[in-house]
Amino acid sequence: MYDIIIIGSGPAGLSAALNAKIRNKSFKLFGNKNLTNKLDKAPMINNYLGFYGMTGREIRAKFEEHIKEMDIQITEERVNNIYSMGDYFAVMVNEKVYETKTVILATGVEYGKQIGGEKEYLGKGVGYCATCDAPLYKGKTVTIIGYNKEAEEEANFVSELAQKVNYLPMYKGDYSLNNKIDIIKDEPVKIIGELKVKKLILKNSEIETDGVFIIRDSLSPSELVPGLKIEDNHVAVNREMETNIPGCFAAGDCIGKPYQYIKAAGEGNIAALSAVKYLNSIKK
């Protein structure tokens, strides 16, 4: 059982990890070796105290140097879900489960634009895990919007149970789909229905469907942590970076604007210290 699991390796996540390390907590940091893609895009950063006139890549080199010096490792695994079990959290990575007493979400905001009606029909025909809910669609029509190759496996699995499967690839390449699946090359615009999903409206046509599964590269925080409170498309937190779920904290771009590095790093610091405070309180 870890003390803290941190999701995200941008400035908020790294700063949280730094403070977890300094406070001598057992922790795990999930993220990418390149830290965050956002740093590739910054031509010049002048408002990070002490580091000025630097490109995003130069700042990244400084961040890397710092975490290396502190002996902090980044785990490059994709977290599927985080379940709040009451007195601990279960962090799911495919078949593996990591247990932790606290979680710090520092996922950033790059999780793709939502499709019209997606939120409204979530759980009413819209879902994010086709393999999870496929058996509920026996004899029905399912449409899968896939943003990556992994979505093809989900489509193949569903096609064994559903009566009809449509597949909308949102990427280019060869598709390894079985021949029962209809590939539709078009752009999703809106999901419509009444009490539940009826149709998916595309740019050039529309399809009648009972279910729409959207398989993206990364999940938004509310999909990642079921039950998490969201306000204005960001994770709702207070000044201590506490979310509505005890033991779950959030920091950085995912909690709101301004999307600035130094703000994210500061929040990562608060989140880690709040997590430490929480750990001390549950020990008693």
Partner 1 sequence: MVKEINEKNFESEVLNNNGVVVVDFWANWCGPCKMMAPVLESVSEELKEVSFTKVDVDENGVLADKYEILSIPTLLIFKGGNLVDKLVGFTPKDVLVQVINKNL
Chain residues binding partner 1 by CB under 8 A are: 81, 83-86, 90, 92, 122-125, 127, 132-133, 135-136, 195-196, 211, 226-227, 244-246
**CB of 115 vs partner 1, minimal distance in Å:** 17
- Tokens at 97, concatenated: 């489960």
Residue 251: how many other CB atoms lie within 10 Å:
32
**CB of 125 vs partner 1, minimal distance in Å:** 5
Residues 6+ apart with CB under 8 A from 278: 101, 102, 246, 247
User: In this structure, are residues 8 and 31 in contact, taking their beta carbons and an 8 Å threshold?
Assistant: yes
CB nearer to partner 1: pick between 72 and 122: 122
User: What is the chain's length?
Assistant: 284
CB nearer to partner 1: pick between 50 and 123: 123
By DSSP bridging, strand 96-105 and strand 89-93 are antiparallel
CB nearer to partner 1: pick between 9 and 243: 243
- Tokens at 172, concatenated: 């280019």
- Whether residue 258 has a cis bond before it, omega within 30° of 0: yes
Contacts 24+ apart (CB under 8 A), 87-93: 87/282, 88/1, 88/247, 89/5, 89/247, 89/248, 91/5
**CB of 183 vs partner 1, minimal distance in Å:** 24
Taking each helix axis from N to C end, the angle separating 261-283 and 11-22, rounded to the nearest 10 degrees, works out to 40
**CB of 24 vs partner 1, minimal distance in Å:** 28
CB nearer to partner 1: pick between 57 and 229: 229
CB nearer to partner 1: pick between 11 and 117: 117
**CB of 58 vs partner 1, minimal distance in Å:** 41
**CB of 25 vs partner 1, minimal distance in Å:** 23
CB nearer to partner 1: pick between 31 and 247: 247
